[in-house]
Amino acid sequence: DTSLAEVNSFSPSMPISPSSMINQYKFEDEPELRDLFITVDDPESHITAIETFITYRVVTKTSRGEFDSSEYEVRRRYQDFLWLKSKLEEAHPTLIIPPLPEKFIMKGMVERFSDEFIETRRKALHKFLNRIADHPTLTFNEDFKIFLTAQAWELSSHKKQGPSLLSRMGQTVRAVASSVRGGVKNRPEMFTEMNDYMETFSQKISVLDKIAHRIYKEEREYLNEMKEYGPIYTLWSASEEDIADSLKGVASCIDKCCKATEKRMAGLSENLLPILHEYVLYSEILMGVLKRRDQIQGELDSKVDALANKKTEKDLFSEEIGKLEDKVECANNALKADWDRWKQNMQCDMRSAFTNVAENNLHYYEE
């Protein structure tokens, strides 16, 4: 673009900054009329004789008719978010449910109850609920509404009505066993392409995630070395009168480099690392969704084979096959629509994250 080429890239008065472009993208991608706003904030520690855990305040504001009030405030712990995710997966097996942050964190990163860890988790839980709120189908799920509105005792009572943990585990084991038995014979080409895409995406996003963490670690080591290095020049200037001003100038430069590096690291930890890691988790979720779709298809294929081999009970089998065909079609349509939506969101998120990093790097080198 010649208009960009004419601008001095080191000039702070650049007419169109990447961040303004990001805001433009975000503005265009947002729905025109939102009627559900959710905030996750105010983490609070709870210490009992059995366990220590954190709860978060979830504030919901809405203009939807199905809600009895326009504003709700409840407190939720991580286990409640896990329950919601499992209920959404159970109700919508071939929709792409947003990922939750992991229960256990990588060793050596941050302490489990440190302020940094709690804030990182709060942001991830906030994003999880807002991604559900923005989803055209998940946003109207009854369990989601209960999660946002029910008081702690009501939610606890509602949880007891669902299937037990062992029952859910049994379903998962059966689903995995079914998908491992063999490939689906009549899988449409589109879903084979999706599967191939996700295998490649999973590998690439994992590599990007590792590289980003390595860069962050190297930046942190560099910052720590500069913090030790700067004061040496200040001490040295006290014993060298002739070059004292020059030595103090070098110390001041190192201090400025420290501040610029801290800003750059903040940009990485806020704009890049969470997005990359979220999509590492998304890649696992999508592979699971594709397996569940294959499981539904496999169930239909086995019934069709059974009907071909049996001359009796044809009416009963035909009825079951009709229901399974409807189930497969619903699963396929749900996944197709969600796939296009997910890819669009992913591309927008990646573009935004990398443009932010590029802009942060420009400011860093200018400083």
**What is the domain-level CATH number for residue 214?**
1.20.1270.60
Q: 157 CB contacts (<8 Å, ≥6 apart)?
A: none
- Shared domain for 214 and 114, answered yes or no, is no
Q: What is the extent of the structural domain holding 48?
A: 34-154
Q: Residue 120: is its pLDDT beyond 80? A: yes
- Shared domain for 269 and 150, answered yes or no, is no
Query: Domain for residue 332, yes or no?
Result: yes
- Shared domain for 148 and 59, answered yes or no, is yes
* Per-residue pLDDT at 315: 63
- Report DSSP letters for 121-137, one per residue: HHHHHHHHHHHHHHSTT
Burial code of 174-195, b = ≥16 C-beta within 10 A, e = fewer?
Answer: ebeebbeeeebeebeeebeebb
- Shared domain for 276 and 238, answered yes or no, is yes
Q: Residue 57: is its pLDDT beyond 80? A: yes
* Per-residue pLDDT at 16: 45
Q: Residue 19: is its pLDDT beyond 80? A: no
Q: How many domains does the chain have?
A: 2
Beta bridge partners of 60: 38, 72
Q: Residue 49: is its pLDDT beyond 90? A: no
- Shared domain for 307 and 200, answered yes or no, is yes
- Shared domain for 256 and 361, answered yes or no, is yes
* Per-residue pLDDT at 159: 85
Q: Residue 106: is its pLDDT beyond 80? A: no
For helices 189-237 and 273-309, angle between their N-to-C axes, nearest 10 degrees: 160
Q: 74 CB contacts (<8 Å, ≥6 apart)?
A: 57, 58, 148, 149, 150, 151, 152, 155
* Per-residue pLDDT at 170: 45
Q: How confident is the model at residue 1 (pLDDT cuts 50, 70, 90)?
A: very low
The least confident of 180-194, 219-233, 273-287 is 180-194
* Per-residue pLDDT at 299: 86
- Shared domain for 147 and 192, answered yes or no, is no
Q: What is the CATH number of the domain that holds 137?
A: 3.30.1520.10
Query: Domain for residue 178, yes or no?
Result: no
- Shared domain for 261 and 135, answered yes or no, is no
Round the average pLDDT of the chain to a whole number and report it.
Answer: 83
* Per-residue pLDDT at 314: 65
- Shared domain for 54 and 196, answered yes or no, is no
Per-residue pLDDT averaged across 314-318, rounded?
67
- Shared domain for 192 and 253, answered yes or no, is yes
CB 187 within 8 A of CB 297: yes
Burial (CB count <10 Å: 0-12, 13-18, 19+), residue 327: middle
User: Which of the two residues, 251 and 110, has the higher pLDDT score?
Assistant: 251
- Shared domain for 113 and 251, answered yes or no, is no
Q: Residue 238: is its pLDDT beyond 80? A: yes
* Per-residue pLDDT at 11: 39
Residue with tokens 């079914």: 178
The tokens describing 313, both together, are: 């009970």
| Of residues 364, 323, 254, 360, the one with CA closest to residue 18 | 360
State which of 133, 154, 175 marks the end of a domain: 154
* Per-residue pLDDT at 4: 40
State which of 115, 135, 154 marks the end of a domain: 154
Q: Residue 327: is its pLDDT beyond 80? A: yes
- Shared domain for 78 and 145, answered yes or no, is yes
* Per-residue pLDDT at 101: 87
Q: What percent of the chain has pLDDT over 70?
A: 80
Cβ atoms within 10 A of the Cβ of 276, count? 21
* Per-residue pLDDT at 148: 95
Q: What is the largest CA-CA distance in the chain?
A: 106
Q: Residue 276: is its pLDDT beyond 50? A: yes
